[in-house]
Structure 1
């Protein structure tokens, strides 16, 4: 693996990197923007959301969705950057999103105000095609964070439990057979992505306090790590490259946001 290089700098707070249609996309929470990045690092603002767009993913038909936590809304982003309401999520500390092949949209709620709030368990809700709103399909999670779909399995990072948790996805979006995908004691897994081969039983997770990204096999074996000079908040794989949104975190907030890239 090559050394980390800085692909994009000057980010207020980068999160939710995604590889889609041959390009990297990410959310800049601090600037309220969704951004697309070319291979040379040229960045284009795709949409001005304006209120901390937390996470993005695409429906099977190619439409882009974004979580607006402050509004409790799931937004649909047009090719021209226009925003439309896709669904009302209701009250909650909405965080990450993942869409499966049937168009089921999973959104998690961390369960408490962060930072500074008193901890309460979080949950995962699903919005199925044609439904008026989301329904809860899993609860009791210790700060549910990054999520990814692999086939008919949903994997979620529990940041406060030091583990990745897996569920089987039923056709109606219900989550069944909850189990530990990988225990990663001493880590606080945040954003996650599938390994290069989507059928491979391995996941990359970003780890803010340990300033690294980790490739872990199902069962918990650590396969490789990528170290950085600041907290790693999330990661995405594309074109044989690991992309990492990273930032320095302190009690005063964040600064020095970047997207790192490392060729695998």
Structure 2
């Protein structure tokens, strides 16, 4: 197993998340800062959008429309003329909890993770759902009974991979031609404890020895790079659960994406999660090999 450390690429954010490499630039949300950034490979801010709510997920449709999840409002927004507009109201379908990460497949089917509850002391964890729909269609529950659905990606085999954060597991679904999901199975498990978690007064899991798979991305070999904030690591895991590399971070990692001019930079969204403080950073690990997938924007 390879072990690596990071270097700091950029500082000065509150809670960076939703890392995407799109149109030769790094995009991400600052959830607590209520902003969306586009950053060039040399670290220059190319674009900065202000949001009313907390932006938590990013994706693009085939026509170039950028979509943004609104964390607490349980809404999906779309960017038009430099302003965000309501694209789909999910409040009647989404359970209490976050509407956070999302992805879009090659047929413009949108998949969103709905956490199901807010991490807090004394909360009773409940499973939740993945919501799916195509533009103009009614959203529906595509998958149920997921242990805190979070990071979500589509691989080259047209399978949807979903992180079960508090079950320490990655689920896999086959995607049918109409976008529906079937053939649920475990893609990789970090332990066999199952869906179980207790939180301290700050809403942090008491057991920090377990992996807590959060945001994730794929490399050009089909492996998952998974942010695990409880362990303060990003791990590279192959199908079946073999951990092939570990990247140690300076703060808590919540998402990652391969990008850079040469496709060999792993950008990692980290923060110390201190309300009112800009402890968020973009850390990076530079590989000696090109790792980026051809399709890497969502």
The gaps in structure 1 that reach 5 residues or longer are none
Higher relative contact order, structure no. (Cα contacts within 8 Å, ≥ 6 residues apart): 2
- List per-residue Cα deviations over 1:139-174 (Å, max 9, x = no partner): 111111100011311001101111111100112221
Partner of 2:282: 259
Aligned match of 1:83: 84
2:271 to 239, 247, 251: 247
Partner of 1:73: 75
- The number of aligned residues is 258
1:229 is the counterpart of 2:250: yes
Task: For residues 212-233 of structure 1, give each alpha carbon's deviation from its aligned partner in whole angstroms, at most 9, with x where no partner exists.
Answer: 1000000111111100122111
Task: Using the TM superposition, give the Cα deviation of residue 181 of structure 1 relative to its aligned residue in structure 2, in angstroms.
Answer: 0.7
**Pair 1:187-2:189 in alignment:** no
Residue 146 of structure 2 is matched in structure 1 by 141
Structure 2 CA distance, aligned partners of 1:231 and 1:255? 13
Matched residue, 2:118: 113
Does the CA-based 8 Å contact 1:247-1:254 persist in structure 2? no
Residue 21 of structure 2 contacts residue 257 of structure 2 at CA under 8 Å; is this kept in 1? Answer: yes
User: TM (normalized to structure 1)?
Assistant: 0.92
Residues 181/2 of structure 1: CA separation in 2 closer, same or farther (3 Å cut): closer
5 Å-filtered alignment, 1:211-226, equals 211-226=232-247
**CA separation in 2, counterparts of 1:209 and 1:2?**
17
Does the 8 Å contact 1:33/1:45 carry over to 2?
A: no
1:171-218 Cα distance to aligned partner (Å, 9 max, x none): 2221100011111123110000001x1xx3310000101111000000
RMSD across aligned positions (CA): 1.8
Alpha-carbon contact 1:13-1:254 (below 8 Å) kept: no
Q: Is the 8 A contact 2:10 2:43 kept in 1?
A: yes
Q: Which consecutive residues of structure 2, in runs of 5 or more, have no partner in the other structure?
A: 192-209, 288-298
In the TM superposition, residue 73 of structure 1 has moved relative to its aligned partner by 1.4
Could you say what secondary structure the match of 1:173 adopts? coil
Cα pair 2:273 2:280 within 8 Å, conserved = no
Question: Structure 1 177/41 Cα, relative in aligned 2: closer, same or farther at 3 Å?
Answer: same
Which of these residues, 201, 224, 229, is aligned with residue 222 of structure 2?
201
Look up the match of 1:166. Answer: 172
Which is strand-richer, 1 or 2? 1
Counterpart CA distance in 2 for 1:237 and 1:141 is 26
Matches within 5 A, 1:87-106: 87-90=88-91, 91-92=94-95, 93=97, 94-106=99-111
